[in-house]
Amino acid sequence: MTYIVKPTFHHPGLPKNALGYTHRDYEGSVSTLCAGCGHDSISAAIIQACFELNIEPHRVAKLSGIGCSSKTPTYFLGNSHGFNSVHGRMPSVLTGANLANCDLIYLGVSGDGDSASIGLGQFAHVVRRGVNMTYIVENNGVYGLTKGQFSATADRGSKSKRGAINSDSPIDLVSMALQLGATFVGRSFSGDKKQLVPLIKAALEHEGAAFLDVISPCIAFNNHPGSTKSFDYVREHNEAVNRLDFITGRAPIHVDYEPGTVEIVEQHDGTTIALRKLDAEYDVHDRRAAMNFLMERQAAGEVVTGLLYLETDGEDLHAHLGTVDKPLNALGERELCPGSAALEQFNARLR
Amino acid sequence: MKPTDLSTPQHFHKVVDCQWACPAHTPVPEYIRLIAAGRYGDAYMINWKSNVFPGILGRTCDRPCEPACRRGRVEKEPVAICRLKRVAADYKDDIRERLPKPVAKKNGKRVVCIGGGPASLTVARDLAPLGYDVVVLDQDPQAGGMMRTQIPKFRLPDSVLDEECGYVLDLGVRFVGGRRVDSMKALLAEGWDAIFVGCGAPRGRDLDIPGRKEAAKNIHIGIDWLSSVSFGHTTKIGKRVVVLGGGNTAMDCCRSSLRLGSEDVQVVVRSGFEEMKASPWEKEDAMHEGIPIHNYLVPKEFTHENGKLTGVVFEKVQAWRDDKGKRHLLPSGEPDRHFPCDDVLIAVGQENAFPWIERDIGIEFDQWGMPKVDAQTMRSTHPKIFFGGDAAFGPKNIIWAVAHGHEAAVSIDKFCNGEDIAERPAPAVEIVSQKMGIHEWSYDNDIAPDKRYRVPLRDKVVALRDIRAEVELGYDEALAFREAQRCLNCDAQTVFTSLLCIECDACVDICPMDCITFTQDGEEAELRTRLTAPARNLAQDLYVANGLKTGRMMVKDEDVCLHCGLCAERCPTGAWDMQKTFIEMTYAGSACRSKA
């Protein structure tokens, strides 16, 4: 862990975004994770994504549970709202916060232990309810804080640092998210920011439950030969189905790629993304095909990455519940207690 | 792009901007750290070895190191390197025990130095401890040359000069004061093994305009006048003084006048204020004492009455650039201006003059009357005669004179040992890891956000009363520590080992200055545009390494690296390490010779 404070001096030629901030303004305090941790790269990618999207820091709420990954919200967006909840319980806190104030951008940060073990139930329900959020799992396949036991996402047959072979079946959170109705599902790798940053940007812009599984090697306990979550293994077996080239706000899009190689996807909120296909056959809008594809590639030992599924006209929890547009926490006494006449009217409808 | 070649010290030497910019290549960060540690004597000795006159230079150096200082690119102002050097000199203990002793057994070689200024004294310092019999000749009774005659005492007290010239002379160097050399031929006939010419640029340029002869009594050549003031021959000057010229000599002239009873001193320069030759801090010091500087005024005529000067007439001009970008001063059309005054000091430049060198003894001169001198060996076209300081290439400054002196001493030593003087010795390089623990370094890697500290000055009223009262008081120890902490320790190099790198991006993410990029190879010009932060400062090199597993290159822009070591702290495999380079020039002696 680093003892000095990161110097406030920055590069004189650092670009500023539309709000006048540099990416340094989106940082948090210096990481206390092990040197080289993949999670720190994901933090840097989140910083970059928020900088590029011109997000006002006070409009973001970052929520997490317990674990190495759940510590990371301290290390980015130092001027945003944060809630470090109980182990595996981030999804319900996030759901509650989202219900109370739909105006914020919700970023849930969790790990494989926090989401696939103790919090598996919570994970399932927050996804199936379609809470408008970005849910990032920083997935390293081990329990780092307790010195490297296999977690629930470790692949069967992979080897621990001390030589034990994992005999349990892995939980694939991407497949689960697809099955449970997430409207945006992607997978990426902490060592590939060119892929990761646009994915995070698209997820943050997506209205609905966006899930990102980010493989993030644990340098201390899971970066050795025999591990399937090491830098070398993921780099060798990475099978990207597409590249998110750019994401616009609500401006029209212009691309000059060869026909058939690029797909322009318009989402129902008006944002557009340009998707460069690496696998010509892969259809990002077909949930069942995506699941089949994943199963097949997984059996072949490949790690499929990219934007795996996108539903452009999905609905979120507020739409399901028919809440008012105004955030619930902003409603005043007049709206919440409309008086006995309104009560009479309401009761009449139930008779 | 080619990977950076680390087999020579070139790349890492350039990273230490201050040391690279210093003509004598003084290891600046090393002595600044010693000052911060309160080890003033050690800091002084590093300086003494490299630049011979730490106390003098700590007050008067032209400080090429400071505009080069990386701190000036990271924030507003560079580290006050020059004034920290003075701290080492001011607070050191008695260091005489650490100096070389006069050698008992001489090597039989006799060297004579003409002129007792910084260049000659450096040659003497380098050669005397090796057993050379060195004699220094000077027209003045004391050693020091222009440091003694032209720099006013309120900037450089005699005590400092005496001390540091004394250290050199105490090495067994024979100083002969009051001896003017009139004939090089005669000197050659004395049978010296080598002759070093370090007599400076002793002639002040004159201004030949109407009225010069008639009013001569009150028109003085700046450097001659300063010298006369320095020796106490001149003790007063008229109430109203006009100083012509915009160099450091002009600044010394105007400030001296103010101390000799003048009540109204004006500096008038031909060019614009920004283009003046004087160092910015010297202009500042003059203006601080209330001296106005008028620009774009070309002297036209000295006015006089009954043989007495009454003033100077100037033509107002304006700058104009032609198609080639060359600047011309054209009449502005405004009416001429008359500056009434009692005395004029002309400080419009200095010239070399060698009337005492016969033209038929083997020293070739160029069309401007300057000797042909090899810029590296400092040798003239005569095998035994070497030049240095202002005498070699015209007026420069003390630190250049010292650098010339070192080079000339190496040449003389090699020459006297029958070696080829064109073969120059490489500097000595030490490179040592600074790692002490997982996140501990043997240098203070935390970055101090402090702005540059001002050097305390003597009260203006008191300072102006006495021409010998030093104006700058120097940093006290507490201020010196804080200023020293501003140094970025650029000699603590970031050294990268590709073989250990796992490309986890930790260094890229933590670097506060966005210096590091892992990317595909490319041509330098194009590569510079697609780094994490664009590398627009072309004067600063890129550090490039290949051999990574993914086939990408590690590219580090050295420009604004803080040397905070965070890349190395966050590196899980030790691919980054902070290693201190100590680069020291090789001086005369066995180390500079090939057959040691």
How many angstroms separate the CA atoms of B334 and B313, rounded? 13
Among B290, B315, B348, the domain boundary falls at: B348
Choose the final residue of a domain: B366, B396, B416: B416
User: Which CATH number does the domain housing residue B162 bear?
Assistant: 3.50.50.60
Q: Per the domain annotation, does A88 fall within a domain?
A: yes
Q: Are residues B167 and B263 in the same domain?
A: no
Give B83-128 pLDDT, tens digit per residue.
999 999 999 999 999 999 999 999 999 999 999 999 999 999 999 9
Whether residue B326 sits in one domain with residue B227:
yes
B565 is a domain residue: no
Domain span holding position A214 = 23-321
> Do B334 and B232 fall within a single domain?
yes
CA pair distance B96, B77, nearest whole angstrom: 35
Q: What's the total number of domains in chain A? A: 1
Q: Are residues B217 and B185 in the same domain?
A: no
Q: Is B485 left (phi over 0), alpha (psi -120 to 50) or beta?
A: alpha
ipTM for the complex shown: 0.91
Residue B116 belongs to some domain of the structure: yes
Tokens of A95: 């759901």
Residue B173 shares a structural domain with residue B114? yes
At residue B19, the 3 state secondary structure works out as helix
Using an 8 Å Cβ cutoff, are B435 and B577 in contact? yes
In B322-415, the DSSP E strands lie at 327-331, 337-340, 343-346, 350-351, 385-387
Give me the number of domains chain B comprises: 2
Interface residue B511 vs chain A (CB under 8 A):
no
Indicate the Cα dihedral angle B150, B151, B152, B157, nearest 10°: -130
Which B residues in the span 534-563 are in contact with A, Cβ-Cβ below 8 Å? Answer: 534, 536, 549-550, 560, 562
Tokens, residue B139:
């027209």
Q: Is residue A332 part of a domain?
A: no
Question: Do residues B313 and B389 share a domain?
Answer: no
Q: Residue B381's domain spans which residues? A: 99-202+352-416
* A231 to chain B, closest Cα gap in Å: 7
**Would B410 be classed as within a structural domain?**
yes
Residue B494 counted as domain residue: no
The predicted pLDDT at position B352 comes to: 87
What's the CA gap between A182 and B431, in Å, rounded?
A: 56
CATH number of the domain encompassing residue A207? 3.40.50.970
Looking at residue A78, its amino acid is: G
Handedness of CA B553, B558, B560, B565 (dihedral sign): positive
CA gap B185, B398 in Å, rounded:
28
Any B CB within 8 A of A191 CB: yes
| Tens of pLDDT, residues B454-502 | 999 999 999 999 999 999 999 999 999 999 999 999 999 999 999 999 9
For chain B, the 3-state helix, strand and coil shares in percent, each to the nearest 5, are 30, 20, 50
Beta pairing, strands B350-351 & B203-204:
antiparallel
Contact B507/A at CB under 8 A: no
**Best mutation site among B509, B557, B558, B573 for testing chain A: the one with the most A CBs within 10 Å?**
B509
A12 interfacial to chain B (CB closer than 8 Å):
yes
B353 Cα distance to chain centroid: 23
Residues 193-212 of A with CB under 8 A from B: 193
Task: Give SS3 for B148.
Answer: helix
* Measured CA distances, A280 to A251, A277, A329 (Å): 27, 6, 46
Single out the residue in B416, B446, B462 at which a domain terminates: B416
- Whole-angstrom distance, CA of residue B462 vs CA of residue B355: 44
- What residues of chain A lie within 8 A of the CB of B566, using their CB? 2, 4, 6
Residue B386 burial (CB count, 10 A): 31
CA B540 to CA B558: how far, in whole Å?
6
Establish if B211 belongs to a structural domain. yes
CA distance linking residue B177 with residue B357, whole number of Å: 20
Q: Is B517 on the interface with A (CB under 8 A)?
A: no
Same domain membership, residue B360 and residue B328: no
Residue A337 lies in a domain: no
B/e letters for B422-443, b = 16+ CB within 10 Å, e = fewer, are eeebeeeeeeeebbeeebebeb
Same domain, B176 and B300: no
Q: CB contact, 8 Å: A219 with chain B?
A: yes
H/E/C letters for each residue in B162-185? Answer: HHHHHHHHCCCCEEECCCCCCCHH
Q: Same domain, yes or no, for B156 and B190? A: yes
DSSP per-residue letters across A245-297: EEE-SSS-----SPTTTEEEEE-TTS-EEEEEESSTT--TT-HHHHHHHHHHH
Percentages helix, strand, coil for chain A (3-state, rounded to 5) are: 35, 20, 45
Q: Is residue B367 part of a domain?
A: yes
Nearest CA in chain B to A219: B572
Q: Are residues B383 and B341 in the same domain?
A: no
Q: Which of B499, B483, B494 is nearest to B573 (CA)?
A: B499
Together in a domain, B186 and B118: yes
What string of pLDDT tens digits covers the 596 residues of chain B? 899 998 888 999 999 999 999 999 999 999 999 999 999 999 999 999 999 999 999 999 999 999 999 999 999 999 999 999 999 999 999 999 999 999 999 999 999 999 999 999 999 999 999 999 999 999 999 999 999 999 999 999 999 999 999 999 999 999 999 999 999 999 999 999 999 999 998 889 999 999 999 999 999 999 999 999 999 999 999 999 999 999 999 999 999 999 999 999 999 999 999 999 999 999 999 999 999 999 999 999 999 999 899 999 999 999 988 888 888 889 998 999 999 999 999 999 988 889 999 999 999 999 988 999 999 999 999 999 999 999 999 989 999 999 999 999 999 999 999 999 999 999 999 999 999 988 889 999 999 999 999 999 999 999 999 999 999 999 999 999 999 999 999 999 999 999 999 999 999 999 999 999 999 999 999 999 999 999 999 999 999 999 999 999 999 999 999 999 999 999 999 999 999 999 999 999 999 998 64
B315 and B230 in one domain? yes
Residue B315 corresponds to which amino acid?
Answer: E
